[in-house]
Structure 1
Amino acid sequence: MRKYNKNTNELEAAVCNCCGKSMKIQNGMLLEGICSVDTTWGYFSGKDLEKHEFDLCEECYDRITASFAVPPKISEDMEG
Protein backbone atom coordinates (compact mmCIF):
# COMPACT_ATOMS: atom_id res chain seq x y z
CA MET A 1 0.00 0.00 0.00
CA ARG A 2 1.08 3.53 -0.61
CA LYS A 3 0.99 6.38 1.87
CA TYR A 4 0.98 10.01 0.76
CA ASN A 5 1.67 13.20 2.71
CA LYS A 6 -1.69 14.88 3.36
CA ASN A 7 -0.30 18.38 2.82
CA THR A 8 1.93 17.89 -0.23
CA ASN A 9 0.42 14.70 -1.71
CA GLU A 10 4.02 13.42 -2.00
CA LEU A 11 4.62 9.68 -1.72
CA GLU A 12 5.98 8.92 1.76
CA ALA A 13 5.88 5.13 1.95
CA ALA A 14 5.07 2.05 -0.10
CA VAL A 15 4.83 -1.46 1.29
CA CYS A 16 4.26 -4.76 -0.50
CA ASN A 17 0.90 -6.09 0.65
CA CYS A 18 2.12 -9.68 0.21
CA CYS A 19 5.48 -9.83 2.02
CA GLY A 20 5.50 -6.51 3.89
CA LYS A 21 8.71 -5.27 2.26
CA SER A 22 9.20 -1.49 2.44
CA MET A 23 9.95 -0.01 -0.97
CA LYS A 24 12.77 2.47 -1.53
CA ILE A 25 11.55 6.07 -1.90
CA GLN A 26 13.58 9.22 -2.43
CA ASN A 27 12.12 12.72 -2.75
CA GLY A 28 8.64 11.27 -3.19
CA MET A 29 9.74 8.99 -6.04
CA LEU A 30 9.58 5.20 -5.93
CA LEU A 31 13.02 3.79 -6.75
CA GLU A 32 12.05 0.21 -7.58
CA GLY A 33 9.45 -1.72 -9.51
CA ILE A 34 5.97 -2.13 -8.05
CA CYS A 35 2.80 -3.76 -9.33
CA SER A 36 -0.26 -1.75 -8.34
CA VAL A 37 -3.69 -3.36 -8.55
CA ASP A 38 -6.80 -1.19 -8.34
CA THR A 39 -10.09 -2.88 -9.20
CA THR A 40 -13.76 -2.41 -8.49
CA TRP A 41 -15.77 -5.62 -8.45
CA GLY A 42 -18.96 -5.76 -10.53
CA TYR A 43 -22.52 -6.65 -9.68
CA PHE A 44 -22.17 -10.31 -10.59
CA SER A 45 -19.34 -11.02 -8.16
CA GLY A 46 -19.49 -11.81 -4.48
CA LYS A 47 -17.88 -8.42 -3.84
CA ASP A 48 -20.47 -6.15 -5.48
CA LEU A 49 -18.99 -2.67 -5.95
CA GLU A 50 -16.12 -3.20 -3.48
CA LYS A 51 -12.93 -1.42 -4.51
CA HIS A 52 -9.73 -3.37 -3.79
CA GLU A 53 -6.26 -1.79 -3.98
CA PHE A 54 -2.87 -3.35 -3.26
CA ASP A 55 0.79 -3.20 -4.27
CA LEU A 56 3.26 -6.02 -4.86
CA CYS A 57 7.05 -5.88 -4.93
CA GLU A 58 8.67 -7.35 -8.03
CA GLU A 59 9.69 -10.57 -6.23
CA CYS A 60 6.13 -11.29 -5.04
CA TYR A 61 4.73 -10.44 -8.47
CA ASP A 62 7.16 -12.92 -10.09
CA ARG A 63 6.33 -15.65 -7.56
CA ILE A 64 2.56 -15.19 -7.90
CA THR A 65 2.43 -14.92 -11.69
CA ALA A 66 4.71 -17.97 -12.06
CA SER A 67 1.81 -20.04 -10.70
CA PHE A 68 -0.74 -18.73 -13.25
CA ALA A 69 -2.23 -21.34 -15.60
CA VAL A 70 -2.30 -18.61 -18.26
CA PRO A 71 0.68 -16.27 -17.92
CA PRO A 72 0.25 -12.50 -18.06
CA LYS A 73 0.59 -10.86 -21.46
CA ILE A 74 3.95 -9.11 -21.59
CA SER A 75 4.87 -6.46 -24.14
CA GLU A 76 7.30 -3.57 -24.33
CA ASP A 77 5.89 -0.15 -23.41
CA MET A 78 7.00 2.33 -26.03
CA GLU A 79 6.87 5.75 -24.43
CA GLY A 80 6.24 8.32 -27.06
Structure 2
Amino acid sequence: MDNKIFCNVCGRQLHMENDILLEDAFEARKQWGYFSKKDTTLHSFVICEECYDEMVKKFAIPPEITNVTEL
Protein backbone atom coordinates (compact mmCIF):
# COMPACT_ATOMS: atom_id res chain seq x y z
CA MET A 1 0.00 0.00 0.00
CA ASP A 2 1.31 3.46 -0.87
CA ASN A 3 -0.16 5.72 1.82
CA LYS A 4 1.28 9.21 1.88
CA ILE A 5 0.76 11.77 4.62
CA PHE A 6 1.43 15.46 4.09
CA CYS A 7 1.56 18.38 6.51
CA ASN A 8 -1.45 20.58 5.75
CA VAL A 9 0.54 23.71 6.67
CA CYS A 10 3.83 23.40 4.76
CA GLY A 11 2.90 20.60 2.38
CA ARG A 12 5.91 18.46 3.28
CA GLN A 13 5.48 14.71 2.89
CA LEU A 14 6.02 13.01 6.25
CA HIS A 15 8.57 10.20 6.39
CA MET A 16 6.98 6.77 6.12
CA GLU A 17 8.44 3.33 5.58
CA ASN A 18 6.35 0.20 4.98
CA ASP A 19 3.21 2.23 5.81
CA ILE A 20 4.66 3.16 9.23
CA LEU A 21 4.95 6.86 10.07
CA LEU A 22 8.56 7.39 11.21
CA GLU A 23 8.04 10.87 12.66
CA ASP A 24 5.35 12.21 14.90
CA ALA A 25 2.72 14.71 13.81
CA PHE A 26 -0.30 16.52 15.23
CA GLU A 27 -3.54 15.04 13.93
CA ALA A 28 -6.80 16.92 14.37
CA ARG A 29 -10.34 15.81 13.63
CA LYS A 30 -13.40 17.94 14.35
CA GLN A 31 -17.01 17.11 13.61
CA TRP A 32 -18.91 20.39 13.66
CA GLY A 33 -22.34 20.47 15.23
CA TYR A 34 -25.23 22.71 16.16
CA PHE A 35 -24.63 26.46 16.41
CA SER A 36 -21.81 26.26 13.87
CA LYS A 37 -21.82 27.47 10.29
CA LYS A 38 -19.95 24.23 9.57
CA ASP A 39 -22.69 21.98 11.01
CA THR A 40 -22.69 18.43 9.57
CA THR A 41 -19.10 18.63 8.30
CA LEU A 42 -16.00 16.80 9.49
CA HIS A 43 -12.65 18.56 9.23
CA SER A 44 -9.35 16.70 9.62
CA PHE A 45 -5.74 17.66 9.07
CA VAL A 46 -2.15 16.75 9.94
CA ILE A 47 0.55 19.21 11.04
CA CYS A 48 4.24 18.28 11.19
CA GLU A 49 6.09 18.97 14.43
CA GLU A 50 7.94 21.99 13.04
CA CYS A 51 4.73 23.67 11.87
CA TYR A 52 3.01 22.80 15.15
CA ASP A 53 5.81 24.53 17.09
CA GLU A 54 5.42 27.66 14.93
CA MET A 55 1.62 27.58 15.26
CA VAL A 56 1.55 27.39 19.08
CA LYS A 57 4.03 30.29 19.35
CA LYS A 58 1.19 32.48 18.05
CA PHE A 59 -1.35 31.36 20.69
CA ALA A 60 -2.45 34.02 23.18
CA ILE A 61 -2.76 31.21 25.75
CA PRO A 62 -0.22 28.41 25.31
CA PRO A 63 -1.40 24.81 25.19
CA GLU A 64 -1.42 22.84 28.41
CA ILE A 65 1.54 20.46 28.38
CA THR A 66 1.71 17.44 30.66
CA ASN A 67 4.59 14.97 30.80
CA VAL A 68 3.37 11.42 30.30
CA THR A 69 5.48 8.60 31.70
CA GLU A 70 3.39 5.68 30.38
CA LEU A 71 2.54 5.16 26.73
TM > 0.5 fold call = yes
Counterpart of 2:53 (choices 50, 54, 62) is: 62
Cα shift at 1:79: 2.3
Letter in 1 for 2:42: K
Structure with more of its chain in strand, by fraction: 1
Runs of 4+ aligned structure 1 residues displaced above 2 Å come to: 77-80
Q: Which residue of 2 aligns with 1:43?
A: 34
TM-score (norm 2): 0.89
The 5-angstrom pairing of residues 1-80 of structure 1 reads 5=1, 12-79=3-70
- Structure 1, unaligned runs of 5 or more: 6-10
How many residues are matched? 71
Question: How far apart, CA to CA, are the structure 1 residues paired with 2:51 and 2:17?
Answer: 22
* Identical residues among aligned pairs (%): 41
TM-score (norm 1): 0.80
Cα shift at 1:49: 2.0
